[in-house]
Chain A
Amino acid sequence: MRSSLFRRWCLAILLLIVSPAHAIEKLQLLAGDWQYANISAKDSQLQLQLTANGLALELTIATLQLAEPFGEVNNIHLHCQQVRLQSGQINCAQGQVSFVHAHLGDQTVTFSLQARYEEERYQIQFSGLSLADGTLDIQAELDGQIWQANIQSHSVTLESLESLALSILTEDLIELSQGWQLQGELNGKLMMAGDASNISRIETDLALHHWSVSDPQSRYVTESANARVQLKARQQAGEWRWSNIMTLHGGQAYFEPVFLDFEQSGMHWQSDGHWSPANDRITLNIPEFDHSGTLQGSVSLLYQQQQVTSLQIKLDKAQLNNVYNTWLQPFLLGTAADSLTLDGSLSADIDYQFGQSPELSLSFSEVDIDDQQQRFSLAGLTGQFAWTGSMEPQHTALSWQQVYFYALPLGASAIDGVSTRSGFRLTQPFVLPVMDGALQIHDFSLALDQEQAVSWQFDGLLTPVSMEAVSEVLGWPTLYGRLSGVIPQVRYQHQQVQVDGALMLRLFDGITVIRDLRLQDPFGALPQLSANVDITGLDLQLLTQAFDFGMISGRLDGRIHDLRLAGWQAVQFDAQFATPQGDRNRRRISQQAVDNLSQIGGGASGVLSRSFLRFFEDFSYQQLGLSCRLRNSVCEMSGVADAEHGYYIVQGGGILPPWINVVGYTRRVDWPDLLERLQAVRHSSGPVIE
């Protein structure tokens, strides 16, 4: 229809030019107001003038009302000094048009036009369309129903494009874009082509400088990023295929929760893809992805029915520390693995199919993992780990040089195992050195339930570990003896490690048995450990020597039941220690030990040394013992028997005097205070000597 109007204008002009009034050199047509289809004009005027070079045309329209989204254009002044009229075509090699538009402002644009209206082929070119401080050059071709537009941007700001876009976007899109912030400068080319109903081709080579964008919640943000976007997209039968090269360098970005600093580490990828709107299906291949100094790899993705149905990721020798800091740690906040320092490299092959457990193949090379809170570390991890949800077993072989669990060093070891059906099991018994002993693990198996919660279990044997070495690394007073045990089953479920059976310690010639051992949230904010401990036949002489407590001879039985440690500190227990009845060992207690025991009972020290009893090196005793029920940081203390206003810690007796009684009077003792007393054993009011 528009070409038909155009033809009418042309015909009118031709008639005038070829009319007998040849002497006319200037012709002015006052068209006034007119309307055609949905275009209307007010106060229009066309002036034609014959010049030495041909025909000069000048058109002015006070107000031109175009269809939305263009709307009203005012003060149009168009002139072309050299209009060539030939059979079926009009050309204007160089013209200029100026106008005022609500969104585009005052514009003066040069243009050229070539219209072969008979063939319905038109070419038009605009240069210097101003957008803020930048300009756009637009070149458009229409060939029947086929069109192509080339736009060249020169330092056009994204803000000005945004305000222009807002003027032509639909209300839905405007609503969606509300709250977004956009800044930056755009240079480069955009080509679009299509027919009357569709866009069939888009090609870009655009450079974005100081590109800053932010969504309303500031979850997806770039700041001063520099990007180059090369895209070739083609639509055929309603389906799009594209190839893209993207380079990001300079500036920063945050895609919740990942922070990327392109200044330090640029990003580059090539991709190609296919989008079928009818089938709601997108395939995306990124055969080359390079996050400089962090990871290189490839990604392949299928998005169907509004979900990712297939995803393959390959990483090639990624620098684990950089990968962790940028890509993993933000997702691990709040877990035990949220503060690690890593070294070494990782290659990974991840294959996810919708509805199935992901297939995972990780290859570690000289990986060191250090928990910054010093709860665990692992050094020299090398080998292959595989995980599968399928029936077909995938093999794992890993080895490492050193592991630390808190301060406890666990030595070099290796595991061999297989994964099938979202589970993992060891194929060979595994020996984990623990100081000079070892934890032998049989039948280790790990499973992932439907909520993706991990559970594992094993049974094993702890071969004797020297407690001297253990106490040294844990910073305890030296304990003499050995720790060993048969462990029928260790289970981990719901963040709780549960040890069935009993661990046995041979300490100070006695036997200490640890039962009902539970460890909850071992790497959490407050690890919880609970157990029941029974002790029989400790040699007090060895014990007191070890702790430099003053000599006591005899044997000691005891129990610590309902023991609960929170954050590795005792917060609750019922403990009782006493010399066993019927024990015929010699029972002697030294002055220093009496002094120290009396302090634990709340007395002062040094009373003995001030009395005549200082002449005796040690004393005979009938029985000794102490109990403490710890609740709420208060230890309710008791001894072997009740005394007047107190309790006997040591009851004198035996064949030969001197005998000595130590009586405690403080029933309720502040636990930290008691710990202080046990450690320092300095403040004392002396035992009550009867």
Chain B
Amino acid sequence: MMYGYKQISVAAMALFLMSCVTINIYFPAAAAEQAADRIIEDVWGPDGKRSDQPASSETQSMIETDRPVLVRMLEWVVSPAEAQADLNVNSPAISAIQSRMRSRHDQLRPHYDSGAVGLTANGLVTVRDAGSIPLAQRNSVNALVADENKDRNALYAEIARANGRPEWQSDIQETFARRWISNAASGWWYQQGGNWQQK
């Protein structure tokens, strides 16, 4: 009888421990950076000078120190299921946006080179030095910038949606922001800490 009780207790404990298993799907920062690099290379072609900086994984190496000791002990016994999700960027919609951005890049490139257009810290582009654009071309450059930003925003949102994680949009945008800057060609301008800097 006692033995039976013990058996039940162990089973109950096991069940309890099992029930504590949480599945944390972290934003796959490294995969996102690789995906971003692939897209950037496709859009910019050989323009963007490849950066040798290793892809950082800040988002991934999240240490949860504020959880109760008991929970951490339980997790030691039964480690939480962590899904390091992959990030898929293959969809006809993403390809369509990429293709539009690729063909627009030929028109934008001279403006990156001249410093008229720069990369913002939030993964978009903006007119940085309007003075270097002839007056008659200003509106067409403004239109290029607006179209590019529309596509970039759509791209970030679609990658998140295509992966079934719309809430990742800001993480994806933030990852792209870093990678656009990292891959930018020498001489291009980018925003950092509110200031413009030149690669």
Contacts and interface: CB of A to CB of B under 8 A. Distances in A.
A261 B143 CA distance: 18
Contact of B96 (A218, A252, A524, A569): A569
Interface in A243-271: 252-254, 256-257, 259, 261
Interface in A208-230: 214, 217-219, 221, 223
B135 A632 contact: no
Interface stretch (B70-78, B85-93, B105-113): B85-93
Interface stretch (B155-163, B168-176, B177-185): B155-163
A632 B162 contact: yes
A32 interface: no
Contact of B143 (A333, A571, A633): A333
A330 interface: yes
Contact of B158 (A334, A526, A631, A672): A526
Interface string B125-141: 00001110001101100
A254 B92 contact: no
A257 B133 CA distance: 13
Interface residues of A, number: 35
A296 interface: no
Interface in A623-646: 631-633
B122 interface: no
B142 A253 contact: no
B130 A571 contact: no
- Which of A252, A259, A524, A570 counts the most chain B CB atoms within 10 A? A259
Nearest to B89: A632
Contacts of A631: 164
A257 B92 contact: no
B151 interface: yes
A227 to B, nearest CB: 16
Given A253-B135, A261-B136, A566 B143 contact: no
A633 B92 contact: yes
Contacts of A339: 143
Given A525-B151, A569-B93, A633-B91, A259 B161 contact: no
A218 B138 CA distance: 11
A254 B131 CA distance: 11
A405 B92 CA distance: 22
A338 interface: yes
A567 B146 contact: no
A198 B154 CA distance: 60
Contacts of B162: 566, 571-572, 632
B139 A329 contact: yes
B93 A259 contact: no
A566 to B, nearest CB: 3
Contacts of B92: 566-567, 569-571, 633, 671-672
B150 interface: yes
- Which of B91, B149, B154 counts the most chain A CB atoms within 10 A? B91
Contact of A252 (B91, B97, B131, B135): B135
B22 interface: no
A111 B139 CA distance: 52
A259 B90 contact: no
B51 interface: no
A252 B157 CA distance: 40
B196 to A, nearest CB: 13
B152 to A, nearest CB: 9
B192 interface: no
Contacts of B163: 632
B153 interface: yes
Nearest to A254: B135
B136 A252 contact: yes
A632 B131 contact: no
A218 B130 contact: yes
A254 B142 CA distance: 13
Contact of A526 (B139, B142, B154): B154
B139 A257 contact: yes
Given A333-B142, A333-B146, A566-B158, A526 B93 contact: yes
A632 to B, nearest CB: 4
A379 to B, nearest CB: 25
Contacts of B154: 524-526
17 contacts: A217-B130, A253-B135, A254-B138, A257-B142, A338-B146, A525-B97, A525-B153, A526-B158, A566-B158, A567-B97, A569-B93, A572-B162, A632-B88, A632-B91, A633-B92, A671-B92, A672-B92
Shortest beta-carbon contacts, A-B, top 8:
A218-B131, A566-B93, A333-B146, A525-B154, A334-B146, A632-B88, A526-B154, A569-B92
